[in-house]
């Protein structure tokens, strides 16, 4: 049975990645061992991790002077860790508040020092991306969340600042081109576009490290992880391996340009139907609509059970909206095929036809 997986995360991954990853659980490359029982310091696992790093650099075009890390703790750990490493003891940082995850990042950063919220879309339940805000001089860094999974908004511009730019790209990394050189730090939980939960990708500009003047615990110090090549402690080997396979799949199919084009096709198809269909209403401002997470509601909420039954009959899974927003959310991460979007659109058309 083909299930069309719209889960917001952990989410869909390429089927061929599942096939390869499952074989490695039984035996990894004729070693006689499962990847789950192999030492992270064995030559095979060191080579695998090195390949994963190399693929990140190649696919994203990471310039010289940046380190790629695979860490644990998710983006939630990075909320605190990023500020700990980049906010000086007497410094100040700016944050753009566009939803739940940026709000949580702000809470963690405020534990460490002076944090200014430069702009927020909370006044309209985060259904847009703020624009025209002032970025003051003298900030240690500016932090923003590039895509907002719960509210279905996405930055399509890079904030302008003379400060170090830090971005949480958990839910749209590898979905479109980015200029890594614009950033001092990029972090992303893997479980959207990269791999399974359990590993977090970090891309950090080396020359910026060690300048906060803080006494940083070893596990929270990027410099320690750079020196240890992501193996200061035992890394999540299997999650890194699946991420490596996903990057190989992405590279083989045409890399970021291919993915960017496909994601635009998927977004255009679904948003066009939402705007055409008399039974649905998109919740995000049109110019800020996310390509990764499409949020919408029924014009008549009393028909929610009817629509949900039609989704289930079509083997569509994971479309329920976040509890704080309601409605529906179609998470269309990289591995979701265009065909699955067409199935959803067909159901929406049929719902309109059969419900007056």
Report, as residue numbers or ranges, the catalytic residues.
Answer: 101, 168, 192
- 100-109 vs 74-86: helix axis angle to the nearest 10? 40
CA atoms 208, 212, 215, 217: torsion sign: negative
CA distance 168 to 146: 6
Expressed in percent and rounded to 5, the helix, strand and coil fractions of the chain are: 40, 20, 40
CA distance 222 to 228: 10
Furthest-apart CA atoms within the chain: distance in Å: 65
Residue 213 · residue 17 · CB < 8 Å: no
In 3D space, the residue among 286, 287, 294, 292 whose CA is nearest the CA of residue 270 turns out to be: 294
Helix or strand or coil: residue 302?
Answer: helix
Q: CA triplet 105, 109, 113: central angle to 5 degrees?
A: 160
Helices (H) and strands (E) in the chain, counts: 9, 14
What are the structure tokens assigned to 239, written together? 């999650």
Residue 346 · residue 355 · CB < 8 Å: no
In degrees to the nearest 10, what's the CA dihedral of 92, 95, 101, 104? 30
In 3D space, the residue among 147, 175, 103 whose CA is nearest the CA of residue 294 turns out to be: 147
Q: How many residues belong to the chain?
A: 356
Residue 273, H or E segment: helix 255-276
Task: For residue 186, give the DSSP letter.
Answer: E
């Amino acid at each position: 049975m083909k299930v069309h997986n719209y889960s917001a995360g952990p989410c869909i991954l390429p089927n061929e990645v599942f096939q390869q990853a499952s074989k490695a659980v039984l035996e990894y490359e004729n070693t006689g061992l499962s990847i789950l029982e192999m030492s992270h310091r064995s030559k095979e696992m060191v080579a695998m991790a090195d390949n994963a790093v190399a693929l990140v650099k190649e696919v994203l075009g990471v310039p010289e002077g940046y380190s790629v890390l695979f860490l644990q703790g998710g983006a939630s750990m990075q909320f605190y860790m990023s500020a700990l490493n980049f906010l000086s003891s007497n410094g100040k940082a700016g944050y753009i508040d566009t939803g739940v995850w940026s709000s949580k990042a702000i809470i963690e950063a405020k534990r460490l020092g002076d944090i200014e919220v430069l702009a927020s879309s909370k006044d309209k339940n985060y259904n847009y991306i703020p624009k025209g805000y002032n970025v003051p001089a003298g900030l240690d860094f500016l932090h923003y969340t590039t895509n907002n999974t719960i509210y279905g908004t996405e930055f399509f511009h890079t904030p302008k600042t003379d400060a170090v730019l830090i971005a949480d790209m958990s839910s749209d990394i590898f979905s479109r081109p980015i200029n890594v050189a614009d950033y001092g730090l990029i972090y992303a939980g893997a479980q959207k576009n990269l791999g399974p939960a359990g590993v977090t990708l970090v891309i950090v500009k080396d020359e910026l490290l060690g300048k906060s003047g803080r006494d940083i615990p070893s596990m929270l110090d990027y410099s320690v992880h750079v020196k240890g090549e992501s193996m200061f402690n035992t890394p999540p080997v299997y999650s890194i391996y699946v991420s490596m396979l996903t990057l190989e799949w992405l590279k083989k199919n045409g890399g970021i340009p291919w993915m960017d084009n496909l994601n635009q096709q998927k977004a255009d198809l679904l948003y066009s139907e939402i705007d055409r269909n008399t039974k649905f209403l998109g919740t995000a401002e049109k110019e800020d609509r996310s390509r990764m997470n499409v949020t919408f509601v029924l014009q008549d909420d009393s028909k929610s059970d009817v629509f949900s039954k039609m989704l289930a009959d079509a083997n569509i899974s994971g479309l329920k909206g976040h509890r704080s927003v309601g409605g529906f959310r179609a998470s269309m991460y990289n591995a979701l095929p265009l065909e699955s979007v067409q199935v959803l659109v067909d159901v929406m058309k049929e719902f309109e036809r059969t419900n007056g």
